[in-house]
Structure 1
């Protein structure tokens, strides 16, 4: 079997069928040797029933697992243990694949025999779609890329071409199924960053396919939430991935780490906008606490030297934060 498409499912009754159809249709139309693994992570809506209905319709293609709610990372790892395909494709259950994604990925596999295929993502707002990113490593149709290019993008780029698990076809042998991520199961973000570092450690032949093959839904109604521990949790993830020899032994990792943490710090500040009820007193306390976090003062001292690697928005917010202009920052975040 060539592909296992792993789809974790949780309370997505409005979008799940479109996601499943986007995969099933091309498996049938292009006669792709593939399976779909639907993992119902304790859904409370009709998502579990939708999974079962699709299994009954396509029992030779679809497998369904119903499990207690454990979160996205734990559910993905369960899917990996069950997968039978040579390559793993991850798809979030409110997103969908382009209509010829599996065919295009199979073509590049037959031609180049890669360990990992990275492809572009698009954004779908419920009405129209557009590329999220493209032409990242080349303007050509595809190119082989090295681990240094991967690492630079992983730490410096503030868009997820390298870090997302949904924008890759990954040889199953690149996963270390004995890896224990249990201490991260409670986190609601960062699982892509963790697992991407894992698979690149074990990959040699990496191909960038310059085509939009996956669509992220920006209008699923899943509201972003303020996470007070965002910085601490993401730092724990980054410190974990630094243990990989191919990362730790790179001679530019210390400067790239600063950029990664500056962007993380900026997101920690901007995501406080998701707390609609936060007044100035509460935000000031949050910002003061954030200022005292590990590495914050050190990375802020590199702000100007790393300006070229950052968006103006993030650089400007961190400049205000660096000089503790908390009232100004509060007003900006209210805009």
Structure 2
């Protein structure tokens, strides 16, 4: 047996068949080369019955186990123990995801060509409610097939789906999933291994398809409503990985710093940011923010600034790192001249263009006395303020205040080129220039292409 595939199952009866079938239909012969270990995580739907259906159909290739608590770490640890001692590789696929038809063959070919590499990962693609490529797929754009984490510190990995390892590195009690974590347990184990190995592989031609559910009831979404998604994750996940790095290298390597900050951005997503007030009481929130400060002590500011975040998030993290949780004001790294006005809507009306625009919320908080106007051919055009935008908040702290941010303007038909100007404290700052002719051409060309199709 070449491959053992470990698949924890929890209330996945809608998707489970598709996940299993993607393994059965591999270009690599299933009956000769693959076994699937299905661990039911105390599901209360038909998942366990589906598991047993496939067990009856493929008794020599499928194992089914059931655990009494919905703990994905325990489930995966049970699955690892059940892997055949004759297997060469262990792979992890979640019960609502799937893999491309050539994946196992490509993974096998990779390990055959790279005999010293013990762990390899697939590019991830979203499907179902969301389509597209995972943000970390930039690693696969280069022609490299192996990553040294000390050299490519921004080539981080944290998702267990689509990870394959040589079975030998999981044949010891050190490399197991932490049952005290209900979230990030996979990232912790993967990166504990990577800190030991220093290198991992990129399987370019395989594909892992990660399902984004329409009903937002995946384990990932549910985890935000659990207390241990907060302080416990920082303590048992981020800080534990920091400790592993210090024990191995004597310091926190850039790879670990980048990984933690990259993952920390989830806390600042609008749909997750305020859940903390539903889940934690005042003292628990204070403990979380204090522990977050402890984590940031190990992160260099340059690593924070390298992230593809909104500037106000970077400023928040660096301010918290420098001043602690009781800081008065955000440290500002941007300049007014870095600000932009973005046209969100425009239309042609008799004799003029009507535009709606907003200030981007990257660098600057407008004041009550600030004024935005338009200059075209050295003439000042009228701006009509429509309404104020809401303040931007991180955990109930205002980090950007956007007074008079949404504007409406009527532009004469002759003024195809004009500039937005911000007037503040008696000074004028040219923000950016707009060429409506280019926008008009883009719209016309877009329609021509559409009709051509």
Q: Shorter-chain TM-score: which interval?
A: 0.7 to 0.9
CA distance in 1, matches of 2:151, 2:163: 16
Q: Which piece of structure 1 moves more, 30-39 or 290-299?
A: 290-299
Please say if residues 116 and 170 of structure 1, whose CA atoms lie closer than 8 Å, have aligned partners that are also in contact. yes
User: What is the TM-score with the length of structure 1 in the denominator?
Assistant: 0.78
CA distance in 1, matches of 2:248, 2:106: 35
Which structure shows the higher strand fraction?
2
Instruction: State the partner residue of 2:5.
Output: 5
Seen in structure 2, the aligned counterparts of structure 1 residues 47 and 301 have a Cα distance that, compared at 3 Å, is: closer
Per-residue deviation, residues 56-92 of structure 1 (Å, max 9, x unmatched) = 1111221111221240111101111111221110000
Seen in structure 2, the aligned counterparts of structure 1 residues 185 and 210 have a Cα distance that, compared at 3 Å, is: same
Q: Does 1:200 align with 2:194?
A: yes
Deviation at 1:299, TM superposition (A): 4.1
Seen in structure 2, the aligned counterparts of structure 1 residues 250 and 284 have a Cα distance that, compared at 3 Å, is: same
Q: Mapping of 1:22-171 within 5 angstroms?
A: 22-26=22-26, 33-84=33-84, 85-113=87-115, 114-126=117-129, 129-132=131-134, 133-136=136-139, 139-140=142-143, 142-149=144-151, 152-153=153-154, 162-171=157-166
Two-structure CA RMSD over aligned residues (Å): 3.7
The number of equivalent residue pairs is: 318
In structure 1, the gaps of 5 or more residues are none
Deviation at 1:325, TM superposition (A): 6.8
Per-residue deviation, residues 200-245 of structure 1 (Å, max 9, x unmatched) = 2554763222235211001263432344553422322233234446
Query: Structure 1 stretches (4+) deviating beyond 6 angstroms?
Result: 282-287
Instruction: State the partner residue of 1:309.
Output: 306
Partner secondary structure for residue 123 of structure 1: strand
Partner secondary structure for residue 253 of structure 1: coil
Instruction: State the partner residue of 1:219.
Output: 213
CA distance in 1, matches of 2:22, 2:172: 28
Q: Does 1:173 align with 2:168?
A: yes
User: What is the TM-score with the length of structure 2 in the denominator?
Assistant: 0.60
CA distance in 2, matches of 1:179, 1:83: 17
Which structure shows the higher helix fraction?
1
Deviation at 1:36, TM superposition (A): 0.6
Please say if residues 164 and 193 of structure 1, whose CA atoms lie closer than 8 Å, have aligned partners that are also in contact. yes
Answer 1 or 2: higher relative contact order, Cα 8 Å, separation at least 6.
Answer: 1
CA distance in 2, matches of 1:26, 1:149: 34
Select the structure of larger CA radius of gyration: 2
Deviation at 1:55, TM superposition (A): 1.0
Please say if residues 6 and 36 of structure 1, whose CA atoms lie closer than 8 Å, have aligned partners that are also in contact. yes
In structure 2, the gaps of 5 or more residues are 320-326, 331-390, 401-453
Please say if residues 122 and 203 of structure 2, whose CA atoms lie closer than 8 Å, have aligned partners that are also in contact. yes
